[in-house]
């Protein structure tokens, strides 16, 4: 099974010189990033859809084993709140077609707003129309009402992952609901002991299938550096 590790973005000049070399041109950021990490979560798609030219450029800058995960548009998760959004969903999937066809797609993340409370019937209805082979859909719930067996069972039926998310405010349960796992690491600081824990947990989780793990994108390169450390350590074996 493959462990995919990265951050939620790469276009940060402020990551110089700790992560990017001081004189590296911005157009070379992704190429350099992909030499250090093997996946990235793209937040660009939360606000607008990428062009085919843009996606082709990203894929050309990275190796064949590099994967791109995408955050679902806010018009689906925040404005429509999963209701009556079939057209928006189809447009989103169509935009991702070049990456899907190239077999470079990681996960599609549906991050719901913190004030979006659990609605099992709505989730079932949405997933009945949203799931497409070979897409790997994942949900990050940010309201505690979603963390119950009824919701987990719906995710399992549709082979959608419960995104494990840990932050200073909320930590979601670690429940396997699909043939893959994904995690978004959002704490303000990760100590050496935390990284030791993540190495052990990530290796164990990979026994169940592919694992996608993304550190927070910030102006400081802390997340990127932690991602590199973690990837190198899980690859040591």
The span from the CA of 6 to the CA of 223, in Å, is 9
Confidence of residue 1 (pLDDT cuts 50, 70, 90): confident
Q: Name the nearest CA neighbour of 95 among 55, 126, 144, 60.
A: 55
The span from the CA of 234 to the CA of 226, in Å, is 12
pLDDT tens, residue by residue, 192-218: 999 999 999 999 999 989 999 999 988
pLDDT tens, residue by residue, 88-144: 999 999 999 999 999 999 999 999 999 999 999 999 999 999 988 889 999 999 999
- Indicate the domain borders of the chain: 3-234
Start-to-end CA span in the chain (Å) = 13
User: Is 119 in contact with 154 (CB distance < 8 Å)?
Assistant: no
Instruction: Look up the pTM and report it.
Output: 0.96
The superfamily (CATH) of domain 3-234 is Protein of unknown function UPF0759 (3.20.20.410)
What mean pLDDT value characterizes the chain?
A: 95
The torsion region of residue 159 among left (phi > 0), alpha (psi -120 to 50) and beta comes to left
Which residues are CB-neighbours of 7 under 8 A, at least 6 positions away? 37, 40, 41, 214, 215, 216, 217, 223, 224, 227
pLDDT score for 132: 87
Which residues are CB-neighbours of 131 under 8 A, at least 6 positions away? 137, 158, 159, 160
């Amino acid at each position: 099974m493959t462990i995919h590790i990265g951050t939620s973005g790469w276009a940060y000049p402020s990551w110089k010189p700790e992560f990017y070399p001081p004189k590296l041109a911005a157009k070379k950021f992704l190429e350099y990033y992909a030499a250090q990490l093997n996946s990235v979560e793209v937040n660009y798609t939360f606000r607008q859809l990428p062009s085919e030219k843009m996606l082709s450029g990203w894929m050309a800058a990275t190796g064949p084993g590099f994967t791109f995960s995408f955050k679902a548009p806010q018009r689906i998760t925040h404005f429509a709140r999963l209701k009556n959004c079939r057209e928006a969903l189809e447009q989103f999937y169509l935009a991702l077609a070049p990456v899907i066809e190239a077999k470079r797609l990681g996960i599609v993340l549906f991050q719901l707003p913190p004030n979006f409370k659990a609605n099992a019937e709505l989730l079932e209805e949405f997933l009945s129309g949203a799931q497409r082979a070979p897409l790997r859909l994942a949900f990050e719930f940010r309201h505690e009402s979603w963390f119950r067996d009824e919701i987990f069972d719906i995710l399992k039926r549709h082979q959608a992952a419960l995104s494990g998310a840990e932050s200073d405010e909320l930590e979601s349960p670690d429940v396997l609901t699909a043939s893959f796992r994904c995690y978004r690491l959002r704490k303000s600081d990760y100590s050496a002991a935390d990284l030791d824990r993540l190495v052990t947990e990530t290796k164990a989780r990979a026994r169940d299938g592919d694992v996608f793990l993304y550190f927070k994108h910030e102006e400081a390169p802390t997340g990127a550096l932690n991602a590199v450390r973690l990837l190198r350590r899980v690859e040591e074996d």
